[in-house]
Structure 1
Amino acid sequence: MQVIKTNQPGTLGDLIHWEVNPTFTTEDGVLLAGSGGARVIDQFTVIAQVTASKKLQTIDFAGSGGANVAYGVSLLPAQAADGVDGEIKYLRRGPAIIHAESLVWPAGATDNQKATALAALLAQGILAKTGI
């Protein structure tokens, strides 16, 4: 018997345990253009908003100007070509409960950085819980 393996994207249920209303909690946004290559955002990545441009990117804990503050969570994979802004659909506000173990963090993110980001999401009504 032949076995075929696939790599399917997660479903929104893999991230969202409960939300009040997707029309209220989710938004479409502008993904910051790639710089020197494509900017790729994995599904369920914690994202930040650059204050000056209001554009979104993966949270950068070493960054500044809003890039180091959790703003939401990408719901689908997204990509912006080098020098060209892209589009991203993301969870922006609650009330919502999400599966903490589904979140995607930048490489090297520490537990303290994650805790700070989760607190910022909670301030927006997005509660990340483990084991639900």
Structure 2
Amino acid sequence: MLPYYSMTQAQGLSSLLKWEVHPDFSREPVTLLAGSGSVRKIVLGTILALLATTADVTAVSAADAGNTGDGTLTIANPAVTTAVKEGVYTVVCTDPAVDTGTFEVSDPDGKSIGTAKVGVAFGKQIRFTIADGATDFVAGDRFEVTVTKGDINPNAGKVVAWDPAGAAGSEIPWGIAATTAEAPDGTDLDLGLIALRRQVLCFEKGIVWPDGVTAAQKAEALEALEEQGIVVRTA
């Protein structure tokens, strides 16, 4: 009987990438943050996060004193995404309803960034959930969210593996690794890691998820990627 051999081969890009508009447009070379105490390794298919410009961002909410509804707005943890602006965000009820309602969210420049519904988490630039109270909201009820940025993050613009429980930008999906790369302990890797960033179609089976990730976190990550033009087919 002839001997039988088997081997396990690391997945290639074709296991992840189904389509892209053009490599020069869809792919982007990125800097991998230095390892901390050991080598920092990123394998092909890892969801990447871009570290934010600021290391410390605070968001404080306040209900308008003239509100009729007595529901509350609770800031999430983390409170913001990497796209957040410093200043005051307004959250105004535009479509009241019994035990619910819809609010228009505007950035500090007065530009609408979306709508938030009572009881549903909002996650664009600022992250929060509005809860219903004993008295329903009426049109014009409002909240203000004041965002203050702290010290400049020296690691801004570098990437790490996405961590849904992270901070400083590591909690926000930003791209998908198209190569495997390692950053030595204490030294950034400036060349060698390529990210899929825009106008791509990927296979979900090619995604390398972090340990302990939940189904809800996966769904939120895929939604965040799709908003950037990174579409992941789950079937």
TM-score normalised by structure 1 residue count: 0.91
Asked whether the 8 Å contact 2:179–2:195 carries over to 1, the reply is yes
Equivalent position to 1:90, from 195, 203, 221: 195
Poorly superposed stretches of 4+, deviation over 4 Å: none
Residue equivalent to 2:213: 109
Instruction: Spell out, residue by residue over 1:65-91, the C-alpha distance to the aligned partner (whole angstroms, 9 max, x if none).
Output: 211000100011111011001141110
Give the structure with higher Rg (CA). Answer: 2
Matched, 1:20 2:124: no
Residue equivalent to 2:204: 100
Residue equivalent to 1:55: 158
The two structures, once aligned, show a CA RMSD in angstroms of: 1.3
CA distance in 2, matches of 1:61, 1:36: 22
Identity of aligned residues (%): 38
Q: Secondary structure at the match of 1:89?
A: strand
Report 1:5-84 matches (<5 A).
5-52=6-53, 53-84=156-187
User: Which 5+ residue runs of structure 1 have no aligned equivalent?
Assistant: none
TM-score normalised by structure 2 residue count: 0.53
Kindly indicate which of the two structures has a greater share of residues assigned to helix: 1
CA distance in 2, matches of 1:82, 1:119: 33
User: Which 5+ residue runs of structure 2 have no aligned equivalent?
Assistant: 54-155
Higher relative contact order (CA 8 A, sep 6+): 2
Deviation at 1:13, TM superposition (A): 1.5
Deviation at 1:112, TM superposition (A): 1.1
Q: Secondary structure at the match of 1:70?
A: coil
Kindly indicate which of the two structures has a greater share of residues assigned to strand: 2
CA distance in 2, matches of 1:33, 1:65: 16
CA distance in 2, matches of 1:5, 1:116: 37
